[in-house]
Chain A
Amino acid sequence: MSVMDTVATSALEKRLLLDARGVSKSFWRRTGLFTKAVENRALDDVSLTVATGEIVGLVGESGCGKSTLAKVLLGLERADAGVLHGAMGAIFAAGARTMPPAERGIQMIFQDPYGSLNPRMKVGALIGEGLRIQGCLSKAEIRDEVRRHITLVGLSEDSIDKYAHQFSGGQRQRLCIARAIIMKPSLLIADEAASALDVSVQMQILNLLLDLRDRIGLGVIFISHDMGVIEYLCDRIAVMYRGRVVEEGPADAVLDRPRHPYTAHLIAARPRVGAKRINAVSADAFDATEITNEAASLVRRCVYAERCPNRIDRCTLERPELVRDYETSISCFNPMS
């Protein structure tokens, strides 16, 4: 544990593990042979920071760009514009050398622990694969590292000679976490990492992430659509809608006093035991326009205008920018009071 302890002490000084500014990414899609390609802006001027030991929740419905942002950070997709800084220095800037994914100090765990572990490899090889490819350590050293990390995530040492199918869903997710943190990342991206697990096991994984944050000062971007999990885990929350960050701030402020109407809608829609029911805004207004008006996000207007109960004339004429507003940052002309 000695290495872990030294990391933990150095982690006490807060520093930025990620500083993303104005990141944009578009996908172009051709609808027919002779038609012009249509732009689908998956990320539109997104800014986000994560500091040491901070868990930032990224929420929003499917298609809002959460996963595209994760891919851009990892280097699986290239951003069109913006500047990315990581703990290891500049990751990406237009016109400059892009840092190779392996050097970024960013690792990821996925939703489905069944799909992300090779069934033919033993745990020792699975977890140690990254280190082996890196080629800095001997076989024996890698095995020691693997052993240390599987105990760190709460599995027994003899797991090292088992296959992935011999573990339950929760244990497999622990293996995925071990495989990610063995590379000593400063930042871990967890994409719906608890959603595929049973309710009774989900809490174990959330607590493990909290432990790792406390012990090795790991920064985490936790992507989820489950507001309950976000509330339990996160220090800060960024709410995304159609490629834009619409609200960002400390978890308590965003959850208790949401300022953007979309955030308020998300919180109201959350199933909650024992709480009074708030009627959700119908999604149909949005559904109907989705067929006819795909590239609505490109129009100079608020991306949420179609569904927004607070809409004023200005919302359809001008695009709100993300600005500081008391406790949080919001992009809205007519926020909730």
Chain B
Amino acid sequence: MLMSNSIPDLPVTKDPVLSIEGLSLFVRTDDGRRLKIVENASFSIGPGQFFALVGESGSGKTMIARAVMRLVPDAVLEIDGSIRFGAYDLAHASERILRPLRGAEITMIFQEPMSSLNPLMTVERQLMEVIDAHGRFKGPEQRERIIELLRRVRFRDPELILRAFPHELSGGMRQRVMIAAALINEPKLLIADEPTTALDVTIQREVLDIIAELARDMGLAVLFISHDLSLVYENADEIAVLYGGVVMEHGPARDIIERPAHPYTAALLACVPHRRVKGSRQAGIEGSVPSVADWRQGCRFVDRCQQARDACRSGDIPLVVDGPRSVRCVAPLLLGERH
């Protein structure tokens, strides 16, 4: 076992599409303070890989996604570390470089599809707009490309959908239109920020399957943001668990779910409700997620952790690396026991 505070050499698929190293994010507040909201996060996503970033509200998962897209103005969000995408370092790239990348090489879908669609335009016009903006497809090719994409997101009758206005579509259909729009220019990276949260359970499954299938077939790297471990479990290749801006645990999806190494991951899994046998109760996690202003030295989870000890409350928490897995904990579960 190897213990270190430096960035580990995580298993990297040949030439990752996105490679984040030592990423820290700072937000400037109105009263001039500089709050650290993400601390030293590192991970990379290869082509065709479905990477899930899981965390509760306030864990910083959405801010990481927005930092990759550079959607937050520099005056508000300060980025430390590197976000490598091909030849570029997105963390420090200028707007001139970023502009042609957004919507073509890197695309994003959001939680609420209705607010991303223009209610006054038909689906056809909106998709045409996306395709026109980057000029990869011209003339009759454009319409063919749109129809093909609508088929890929499992619309049986794309022509019917093309003529529809967003309000005529159900939530699941709208999200599928958004996925089509996001993939129309053949991006290399898709960032999906809780795209299924606003959808019904029955539709959630299908939208997830579509994204996973497209990632496989098109060699697309997917950064999937979610608050629900049980949701991403089946489709994700890798999972990183975020808590209080720190990547607590990272590794192959199945491995993490079946043998969580961080007490937080384990507690989170124990929160997935099951049937109560003879009036038994599941405990849940006591307390609540600490807000950014309350972050102190040591481990962020310490106040809610069953395994907490003195070493958790001070200094840097070491990153324990074991093969493809890594965990930031003083006393990780399981990993140590095997050695």
Distance between B283 CB and nearest chain A CB, rounded to angstroms: 7
Contacts of A282 in B (CB 8 A): 154, 206
A256 to nearest B CB, angstroms?
A: 9
Map CB proximity to A onto B155-194 as digits: 1 under 8 Å, 0 otherwise.
1110010001000111111000000000000000000000
Q: Could you say which of A116-124, A126-134, A227-235 contacts chain B?
A: A227-235
Of B157, B173, B272, B289, most A-chain CB atoms within 10 Å: B272
B129 on interface, CB distance cutoff 8 Å: no
For the complex, what is the distance from the CA of A291 to the CA of B205, rounded to whole Å? Answer: 22
Cross-interface CB contact of A255 among B268, B272, B275, cutoff 8 Å: B275
The listed residue (B170, B204, B273, B284) touching A201 by CB distance below 8 A is B284
In Å, the complex CA distance between A233 and B282 comes to 11
Contacts of A227 in B (CB 8 A): 201
Is there a chain B Cβ closer than 8 Å to A3's Cβ? Answer: no
Interface residue total, chain A, C-beta cutoff 8 A: 45
Q: A148 in the interface, Cβ–Cβ < 8 Å?
A: no
Chain A residue with the shortest CB-CB distance to B274 = A232
| Bound-complex Cα distance A202 to B229 (A) | 14
Interface residues on B, range: 35 or more
Any B CB within 8 A of the CB of A277: yes
Residue of B205, B234, B273, B304 with highest tally of chain A CB at under 10 A: B273
A199 on the B face (CB < 8 A) = yes
- Which B residues are in CB contact (< 8 Å) with A290? 170
**How many A-B contacts if CB must be within 8 Å?**
130
The contact string, 1 if C-beta is below 8 Å from chain B, for chain A 255-291, is 1000000000110011111100100101111011011
Known A225-B201, A280-B202; judge A231-B273 contact (CB<8 A): yes
Residue B56 is within 8 A (CB to CB) of chain A in the complex:
yes
Chain A residues contacting B229 (CB-CB under 8 Å) are 199, 273
Question: Are B257's CB and A274's CB within 8 A?
Answer: yes
- Please provide the chain A residues from 204 to 235 with a CB less than 8 Å away from any CB of chain B in the complex: 204, 206-207, 210, 225-229, 231-233
Q: How far is the CB of A206 from chain B (nearest CB, A)?
A: 7
Q: How far is the CA of A206 from the CA of B272 in the complex (A)?
A: 12
The 0/1 profile, CB within 8 Å of A marked 1, for residues 282-298 of chain B is 11111011000000000
Q: Does B23 contact A (CB under 8 A)?
A: no
B228 beta carbon closer than 8 Å to chain A:
yes
Question: In the complex, which of the residues A226, A283, A285 has the most CB atoms of chain B within 10 Å of its own CB atom?
Answer: A283
CB–CB B56/A199 < 8 A? yes
Knowing A200-B268, A266-B202, A288-B157, say if A271 contacts B274 (CB, 8 Å). no
- A103 in the interface (beta carbon within 8 A): no
Residues of chain A contacted by B168 (CB below 8 angstroms): 291
In the complex, which residues of chain A have a beta carbon less than 8 angstroms from the beta carbon of B230?
228, 271-273
Asked if A228 and B157 sit within 8 Å, CB to CB, the answer is: no
CA gap between A285 and B156 in the complex, in Å:
8
Evaluate whether A199 and B288 lie within 8 angstroms (CB atoms) in the complex, with A226-B201, A269-B202 already known: no
Residues of chain B within 8 A (CB-CB) of A280 are 202, 205-206, 209
Main SS of chain B's interface residues?
loop
| Interface SS, A side | helix
Q: How far is the CA of A292 from the CA of B319 in the complex (A)?
A: 56
Residue B306 interfacial (CB < 8 Å): no
A203 contacts B284, C-beta separation under 8 Å: yes
Query: Cβ of A277 and Cβ of B234 under 8 Å apart?
Result: yes
CB distance from B58 to the nearest CB of A (A): 8
Within 8 A of B (CB), among A24-72: 61-62
* Cross-chain contact B56 with A198 (CB below 8 angstroms): yes
> Which residues of B sit under 8 angstroms from A199, Cβ to Cβ?
56, 227-229, 268, 271-272
Interface residues of B in 250-279 (CB under 8 A from A): 257-258, 267-269, 271-276
> A204, A226, A233, A251: which has the most chain B beta carbons within 10 Å?
A204
Bound form: Cα–Cα A335–B129 in Å: 47
**Which residues from B are CB-within-8-Å of A210?**
281
Chain B neighbourhood of A159, CB < 8 A: none
Q: Could you pull out 19 A-B pairs where Cβ atoms are within 8 angstroms? A: A199-B272, A200-B56, A200-B284, A200-B288, A201-B285, A202-B284, A203-B285, A210-B281, A228-B274, A269-B205, A271-B228, A271-B231, A272-B230, A273-B272, A274-B258, A283-B202, A284-B154, A284-B156, A290-B170
Closest 8 CB pairs of A and B: A203-B284, A232-B273, A61-B200, A200-B285, A198-B56, A168-B288, A228-B273, A269-B202
Chain A residues with a Cβ under 8 A of chain B: 61-62, 168-171, 198-204, 206-207, 210, 225-229, 231-233, 251-252, 255, 265-266, 269-274, 277, 280, 282-285, 287-288, 290-291
Given contacts A200-B288, A228-B230, 16 further A-B contacts (CB under 8 A): A201-B285, A202-B271, A206-B273, A228-B274, A231-B273, A232-B282, A270-B201, A273-B233, A274-B257, A280-B205, A280-B209, A282-B154, A283-B172, A284-B154, A287-B173, A288-B157
